Amino acid sequence: MLIRFGAIIAVSTVAIVGCAVKPAQYSNQSDKSQPLEIVDVDLSCPDVDTPPREITATVKSVGTGTVTISARWMYEKTQPVNQTNQSLYANGPAITTFRIANPKVWPLGRYRVGILLNGREVQVRKFSITMSGPSTLTQRPECTFAH
């Protein structure tokens, strides 16, 4: 049984490669079921034809357990942008989605999202907001994800 909690759920994802930390495992089960672990994090920027306003992190997990999954968004490594927590009660594969939005244009620079299981960072993904276009007249901000 899969139950997702969160303020906002999104479905658009693009697979990317980023820094990974050894998956943490948590279980509150006394049987021999597989403890819950984060197996992947995908980032996407659904604003394809406009300056980016929203970034989505889709967290894929497997196993059983009751945990708190958090997304900690940072700008330029040190400046906190936002942190969102979601409770997950899983008994098998699950997807938890985090979204951060800025009604204005995002400041140019490097960003990261750390995914935490019960307060411990277990995955990190990086992205940048950069200018694109052949000339200064046609440039616009865009999302680029770390490879």
- Model's pTM, two decimal places? 0.73
Residue found under tokens 């200018």? 131
Span 61-102, pLDDT tens digits = 999 999 999 999 999 988 999 999 999 999 999 999 999 998
Query: Which tokens hold the place of 111?
Result: 């960003």
Beta strands 109-117 and 120-132: pairing type? Answer: antiparallel
Q: What domains sit in the chain, N to C, each tagged with a CATH number?
A: 2-145 (2.60.40.1930)
- Phi, psi of 136, deg, nearest 5: -65, -25
Span 93-137, pLDDT tens digits = 999 999 999 888 888 999 999 999 999 999 999 999 888 776 666
Which residues touch 35 (CB under 8 Å, ≥6 apart)?
A: 25, 26, 27, 29, 63, 64, 65
